[in-house]
Structure 1
Amino acid sequence: MAPVPPPLDLVLTADWVSPSVARDKVRTWLKANGWAGPRLDDLVLAINEAVSNSIEHGYGIGADDPTGSGLVELRGEISGRHVTFTVRDHGVWRPPADDPKSTRGQGIRLMRACADQVTVDVTDEGTTVVLRSGQAPASAEGTSG
């Protein structure tokens, strides 16, 4: 039986540098575990969106706002040929403004297009987004980094 790769665990500050840090760390971790191509890119995009949503909607931090005091937790786990990412904040859910002319508010739709399963759980303690992939490329099976 192939060894299980170590999980990816990140704790990010609620600021607008964190999505970029998450993208870089997730991309490096996935590549080290045999992921490549469009599936890798889709997962990185979904993580970027989940982290950005935590910052903007969970903590209410706009693009021009200073760094917030909140944290965004990111965990990636590989099981068999699937990867699961969990993104958690401890903020308060703020739905996007209802503006019919806006092109914003497409984050969850984007995440669903990039991952095979997406769940969003909103509680008084914060929001948790779980993204699960379909099967990894065959080269990722049993690969550890």
Structure 2
Amino acid sequence: MTQQKPVTQQPAAEQATGGDELSLSAIPALPAALAPARSALGDFLRAHAVPEELAADAVLATYEAIANIVEHAYPAGDGTFDLHATYTRDVTLTVTITDHGTWKTSGPDPASRRGRGLQLMRSCSDDAEIATTDHGTQVHLQWSCSRSATPDDEQAG
């Protein structure tokens, strides 16, 4: 069972039984909440010894998703988002970000340096899916963590 805790200023990494899940709920969609949410994810990944390069990609893609929520999901005012991460050692890392706002359908503007967040999320992850409904948006990011055997591994085993 995953423990969830409302987040205000600084989200604390609430971990489920076994410590393989991070669940942050009701994070205010405000710029001040981004760094604490990003830090909680980083702490979770470090605690599970997720390889540094994979962790950096996961934090960057997740930060892009939550920054988009703050900027675009709630044009009429306050809102919240949830962040859920699951790590299965040597198999997968999954991060799901959910908001209850609206979706902005425009893509990159060639005349602007903006509008490339989805490309960034897709480039940083093995799989990125965005699902939108009348009730909000869910961004699902996934990375493969499985190791292929190296000659050193085979000799050691």
Give the TM bin, normalised by the shorter chain: 0.7 to 0.9
Alignment pair present for 1:23 and 2:66:
no
The match for 1:101 among 103, 111, 122 is 111
- After superposition, residues 5-20 of structure 1 pair within 5 angstroms as 5-11=19-25, 12-20=27-35
2:67 aligned residue: 52
Alignment pair present for 1:78 and 2:87:
yes
Specify the code of the residue in structure 1 equivalent to 2:105.
P
Q: Give the TM-score normalised by the residue count of structure 2.
A: 0.74
Specify the code of the residue in structure 1 equivalent to 2:28.
T
Q: Secondary structure at the match of 1:47?
A: helix
With CA pairs under 8 Å and 6+ residues apart, which has the higher RCO, 1 or 2? 1
Cα shift readout 1:97-118 (whole Å, capped 9, x = no counterpart): 7743111110010011111000
Alignment pair present for 1:125 and 2:139:
no
State the percentage of identical aligned residues. Answer: 33
Counterpart contact for 2:109–2:115, Cα < 8 Å: no
Distance 2:22 2:55 in 1: 15
Distance 1:40 1:72 in 2: 21
Counterpart contact for 1:18–1:51, Cα < 8 Å: no
Distance 1:15 1:79 in 2: 30
Alignment pair present for 1:91 and 2:106:
no
Any gaps of 5 or more consecutive residues in structure 1? Answer: 62-67, 139-145
Change (3 A) 1:98 1:56: same
Backbone CA RMSD of aligned residues: 2.2
Larger Rg: 2
Any gaps of 5 or more consecutive residues in structure 2? Answer: 1-16, 149-157
Specify the code of the residue in structure 2 equivalent to 1:86.
T
Distance 1:98 1:130 in 2: 20
Q: Give the TM-score normalised by the residue count of structure 1.
A: 0.80
Q: Secondary structure at the match of 2:38?
A: helix
Cα shift readout 1:15-37 (whole Å, capped 9, x = no counterpart): 00222112100000000011132
Number of positions where the alignment pairs a residue of Structure 1 with one of Structure 2: 130
1:143 aligned residue: none
Counterpart contact for 1:22–1:47, Cα < 8 Å: no
